[in-house]
Structure 1
Amino acid sequence: MIPTPDLSHLTRADYDHVYEPAEDTFVLLDALEEDAQSLRTIQPRICLEIGSGSGCVSAFLGAILGSSSALYLCTDINSRATRCTFLTGQQNKVSLNPINASLAQPLVKRLANSVDILLFNPPYVPTYEEEAIDAQHGADLSGSWAGGSDGMRVTDILLGQVGNLLSPKGHFYLVAVKQNNIPEIQRLMQSEHGLRSQIVLQRRAGREHLFVLKFTR
């Protein structure tokens, strides 16, 4: 069993502005651990996490693959989150490279068809559209969960970029909830980007029914 990354360096003040790992984080960790052998087999060179927050997920991926075996890139619109991600990498001896950016915007052209592992635990909670827009502009804690009317406002933007980012052997892991319409996400990614998908893991957490989807070419 791969241990959860050490986050003891982060404080309550950090979590006032940066998403604290919760059930959606842990279901993604568990899905990655279940797929650990498959991830090692593809010998990834470039890993990219969108919305890294505390850096917990990328540090965990580094523990699976080995800290020096790949380039670990992490983006987040929240500058406090990029700082936390960097420190989490240091704490867990994984070289994480955080970038203060929205989704993969500054990387799409440079990383075209080069990302071997892409991770996204998006703001998936259905909210008023105005709340989701304000949350993204505010680039603070609410930006990590407010997802618009169907919880897909931010996710839809990234889904449009995945086909251009993934390498031929790439794996894309996405956290979603039932309200996000899982079958429609899968249909869209197959029809528009030719990506096969499967539900790697699902779990109930209170009122939420969490899913981890994996997409491959």
Structure 2
Amino acid sequence: MLPTPDTSHVSYERIYEPAEDSFLLLDTLSTPRETAFLTSRFRNEPLPLVLEIGPGSGVVIAFANAHAQLLFGTREILTAAIDVNSYACAATNTTVGKAASEHASTHGTYLGTAQGDLVAPLRDGAVDVLIFNPPYVPTPELPRWPTATDMVTSVANPSFQDDSYLLSLSYAGGVDGMEITDRLIESLPRVLSPKGCAYVLLCAQNKPEEVKHRIRGFGDQWRVDMVGSSGKQAGWEKLQIIRVWRE
């Protein structure tokens, strides 16, 4: 088993703490099936871009960057992330840096983490591997978009309410827990490269079979498959990772 990046520096009052969903992504990416898929697809590509949306603590993108040689068959990859929470951006930068220093012979090239709204900052066809552990918990509504004032206030006068709000950005998914994930999925035809693929985490309440059906509706060349699972509960996959790609 590949080592998990150290996140002991992260303040979990306002940043999502690595949990079962995070570790399922690490386990899935490092399975023989997925390393074979990724290696065959990107080993000979010039500097493929591996991007995580919503990295939180940075544990997943740090893992992908630190173990690039083993996961992708080459160290010649670029990694980056985008998060709406500026504290998560800073934490991710530290997590990736620490993990890279501990795996000097296998890590890729980290470009940094930017604050932004999902894939809005990206040009068309830019992403080769997209990783997304979304806010998937069903909630009555989505938290509002954070402002610069929110971030400044939470530093100057930190409160429980401020911290709770920032944490809600990482888990509150709106109707069926899918309002954020739906936006990301609809953007995949635009942002993925011709060989690009996406790993997206879903829970049972997200109605994963409906999600897969919708993705297959993108066109005949689109494929989607479950490649990781935390097991069944009451006959449903409790958590699962789907891989989306074009043939």
Structure-2-length-normalised TM-score? 0.78
- Indicate the SS of the match to 1:82: helix
Q: Deviations over 1:91-140 (max 9, x none)?
A: 11152510011101111xx2x123110000000001112xx233x44771
Shift, 1:42, TM fit: 2.0
The CA RMSD over aligned residues, in Å, is 2.1
1:157 aligns with 2:169: no
1:121 is aligned, of 126, 130, 133, to: 133
- Taking the aligned partners of 2:36 and 2:6, their CA distance within structure 1 comes to 23
What displacement does 1:169 show? Answer: 1.4
**2:116 aligned partner:** 101
Tell me the amino acid that sits aligned with residue 131 of structure 2.
L
Query: In structure 2, what is the equivalent of residue 24 of structure 1?
Result: 21
Q: Which residue of 1 aligns with 2:49?
A: 46
> Is residue 125–residue 194 contact of structure 2 (8 Å, CA) maintained in 1?
yes
Structure 1 residue 56: deviation in Å?
0.6
What residue is the counterpart of 1:84 in the other structure? Answer: 91
The percentage of aligned residue pairs carrying the same residue is 38
Mean Cα displacement is larger for which, 31-40 or 202-211? 202-211
How many residues align structurally? 208
**Runs ≥4 residues deviating over 3 A:** 136-139, 204-208
1:43-71 deviation line (CA, Å, top 9, x unaligned): 26111110011111011111332495211
Cα pair 1:46 1:114 within 8 Å, conserved:
yes
* Distance (Å, rounded) in 2 between the aligned partners of 1:169 and 1:106: 20
**Could you say if the C-alpha distance between residues 37 and 6 of structure 1 is closer, same or farther in structure 2, counting changes exceeding 3 Å?**
farther
Specify the alignment match of 1:184 in structure 2. 210
CA contact (8 A) 1:77 1:101 kept: yes
Counterpart contact for 1:33–1:64, Cα < 8 Å: no
TM-score (norm 1): 0.88
Residues 143, 168 of structure 2: 8 Å contact kept: no
User: Which whole-Å CA distance do the structure 2 matches of 1:49 and 1:36 have between them?
Assistant: 17
Change (3 A) 1:121 1:205: farther
Unmatched runs of 5 consecutive residues or more in structure 1: none
Which moved further from structure 2: 174-183 or 204-213? 204-213
Match of 2:242 in 1: 213
CA contact (8 A) 1:77 1:102 kept: yes
Bigger Rg, which one: 2
Partners of 1:17 and 1:179 in 2: CA distance? 25
1:131-210 matched pairs, under 5 angstroms: 132-134=142-144, 136-137=145-146, 140-192=166-218, 194-204=221-231, 209-210=238-239
Q: Counterparts of 2:211 and 2:194 in 1: how far apart (Å)?
A: 20
TM superposition shift of 1:205: 8.8
**Aligned-partner residue type, residue 104 of structure 1:** V
- Report SS of the residue matched to 2:97: helix
Whether the 8 Å CA contact 1:125–1:146 is kept in 2: the answer is yes
Further displaced range: 169-178 or 186-195: 186-195
**Residues of 1 paired with 2:112 and 2:218: CA distance?**
31
Distance 1:49 1:96 in 2: 12
Residues 66, 96 of structure 2: 8 Å contact kept = no
Look up the match of 1:37.
Answer: 36
